[in-house]
Amino acid sequence: MQILHTSGNSCAAPHAPYASASRLFIGWTGKTAPRAADAGMRSATAVAGPFFSGLPSAFLVAMIRSASVAVALCAACLTSACVHIGPSRLKADQVDYARALGDAKKRTILAAVIGLRYGDAPAFLTVSNIIAAYTFDTTGGATANAGSGSMPNYALATGSVSYSNHPTFTFTPTTGEAFASAYIRPLAPALVLPLAEGGIPIDLLLRITAQSVGGLQNGNALGGENSAGAPGFFELLQALRRLQLAGELNVESRQAEGKDGKSGPMGVFLVMGATTSGESSQTAADVARVRKLLRLSSNTRTYQIVYGPSSTSQKGDRIPMVTRSVLGILTDLGAQVQVPLERISDGSTKPTVGLIGGETRPTIIIHSGKNAPDNAYVTIAYGSSMYWVERNDFDSKYAFTVVQNLMALAEAETSSKAPVVTIPAN
């Protein structure tokens, strides 16, 4: 005679990158001699191998039924637990994957900066999809058998729980027109300047993105004899920053005036002395200094920022600006990196540039050495050396974040098509 009972459950949902598996096994086997009271049924089993023997078949059947009920109850509990796995994993997974993406982006930027320092062309991969799925399976069963003759009698109850994950990531390389648009073409002033309205220090923003403002040249790490930049450029940045801190500097995006009184294209405007509560002496001095440095009219407080070099015929209500590309920004950052002296002596790269113009420190301080600190903000390996940004260097971390945001804006302007991914149902 054989009695069989099984129960099982399976569920699947999005998951985190963790997995474990376990299996529960309970069984008992044995043999007994026939008894007259059990006519028509070979008698029963022993429980747990050698520890129990001589049990009647009726008792065996009762035990198996009890075990079956227990297995079914366990499966039911696991089924109900499965319902809560998806929401609980989502709360953890969304944050974990977002952090992982952010860390990967930081390493990508640092790798590009160091690669350009050594003359290597950067390559960029975009994470197109993250598909996280896990499976959670439960099974249970109970079996009893009363043998005949020399065949053993046995009872067996089994249960199993398995939890596995199958993450899928897809990457899209940025090439061709998308690469040129995002990384080679200069960033538009209308894309860059509104970040100052969001709270980013305007002096840091222009130091990173602008090559010239109103004819005043920014420092250029690879510019040779003229790399120091114009002293007036850094004086301009300081005056604009003081106006920003005083709440007297606004950046507006709106339609410019076109011909014949019609509306022109969208433009970005700088408003100085923006409040109506009156100016302090410092604000008045800063506004006057900015107007003098940029040769602006004193008849207005609003000036349109346009892309292009300065000219003698420029209007007094416009500020010409030449911006850098993303690759130009990364190249300039790389030229300021302290590299091992042996890499300079063997011709792998050029000497590190010193502070130029009105700068008091590199935009981002990137260290190099044989070993990086365990708690570094971001770390990458290049050749036999490690390069990193210190976690306790807030100014460098903030500038790094600004560069990361600028790259995100540049990439958003492109329309690279993500691949189609098919996920099996089971």
Taking only the tens place, the pLDDT of each residue in 1-45 is 443 434 444 454 444 443 333 333 334 444 443 443 343 333 333
Please report the pLDDT score of residue 126 as a whole number.
86
Six-digit token pair at 67? 């075990």
Average pLDDT score over residue span 164-171: 80
The C-alpha atoms of residue 47 and residue 41 are separated, in whole angstroms, by: 18
Domain ranges for the chain: 2-100+134-171, 211-321
**CB under 8 Å to 56, separation ≥6 — which residues?**
35, 37, 38, 43, 44
Say which range, 163-167, 245-249, 286-290, 329-333, has the weakest mean pLDDT.
163-167
Provide the pLDDT for residue 50: 39
More confident site: 213 or 58: 213
> Alpha-carbon distance 401 to 410, whole Å?
14
For 329, phi then psi, to 5°, come to -65, -50
Predicted confidence at residue 387, as pLDDT, reads 96
Give 83: exposed, middle or buried? Use CB within 10 Å, 0-12, 13-18, 19+: exposed
pTM of the predicted protein model:
0.73
**Poorest-pLDDT segment among 49-58, 224-233, 326-335, 351-360:** 49-58
> What pLDDT was estimated at residue 330?
96
* Segment 200-225, tens digit of pLDDT: 999 999 999 999 999 998 888 776 65
End-to-end CA distance of the chain: 37
What is the arithmetic mean of pLDDT over 183-200? 93
For 278-287, write each residue's pLDDT tens digit. 568 889 999 9
More confident call, 392 vs 358: 392
Cα separation, 390 vs 386, in Å, equals 12
Percent of the chain with pLDDT over 90: 40
Average pLDDT, the chain: 77
